[in-house]
Amino acid sequence: MMMETLTAAAIQMVSGDDLAANLERAEALLAEAAAQGAQFVALPEYFYLMPADERARLALAEPFGAGPLQQRLAAAAAHHGVWLLAGTLPLQGTQPGRFCNSSLLFGPQGQCAARYDKTHLFGFDDGRERYAEADTMQAGDSIVSAATPWGPTRLSVCYDLRFPELYRQAPAPVLITAPAAFTHTTGQAHWELLLRARAVENLAFVVAPGQGGVHPGGKRTFGHSMIVDPWGQVLACHAEGEGIALATLDFTGQQTWRSRLPALQHRRFIG
């Protein structure tokens, strides 16, 4: 039987260049969310490391299914008995000098239920700020939908939000995850707009944990970790700094909304 409700938590962090400290903060916030009743907890993109030099993540890349980062997150999910979206973790790719920026979903027994490699890599340069993920990352090539007790969950990461067709492939998701490290510049303009748009056009809940502060090298992320319902309403938001956005998702209400707009249930999925 499908779950009718789910208490979800989007964890916001201000990760730095100290791996051990970042992991300790992630685990502390996870424990806090679980104590508040969260059954599903989502960490932000790069929760484990936000260094001044992006190449520092390469040394941490692990083979899928093995390695201390994956083992630690799996153990944390099992310890708290929650579904845990481990934001993104660095996994070994097939291209020399690049890693996969992978979002992993762990079940409450610590099993890895889904892996999604970020497909759309972010690049931005206005003369003052420069981001070039393709310099160190290998793009994924598959859309991933996880089978969860509440229904299909579509995994995505940050910049993916600008590409709506990623979410329109069958099966239609009841929940979309979007861990991010959105820049402050672009976040001010588009973060909430994109989250609410993806929620409304798919009639899906969106859980979007983010980075929210100033990081080594002076990079600033926008924060505003959000949980949005299928009608585009923001159920919870944590604006800046560390914290948790917590909300209960009502999937019975979602089915009511979907029944009122039957065209969405019969749309043609574009491949």
Active site includes 118? Answer: yes
E strand map for the chain: 5-12, 40-42, 83-85, 89-92, 99-106, 112-117, 123-125, 130-132, 145-148, 151-155, 175-177, 205-208, 225-228, 234-238, 243-250
E strand map for 58-111: 83-85, 89-92, 99-106
Active site includes 219? Answer: no
Burial (CB count within 10 angstroms: exposed 0-12, middle 13-18, buried 19+), residue 255: middle
CA pair distance 11, 33, nearest whole angstrom: 8
CA pair distance 100, 134, nearest whole angstrom: 10
Active-site annotation holder among 100, 133, 158, 237: 158
CA pair distance 252, 204, nearest whole angstrom: 12
Contact assessment for residue 74 and residue 89, using Cβ atoms and an 8 Å cutoff: no
One-letter amino acid of 99 = F
Active-site annotation holder among 54, 100, 118, 237: 118
The continuous run of DSSP H or E covering 254 comes out as helix 251-260
Enumerate the active-site residues.
45, 118, 158
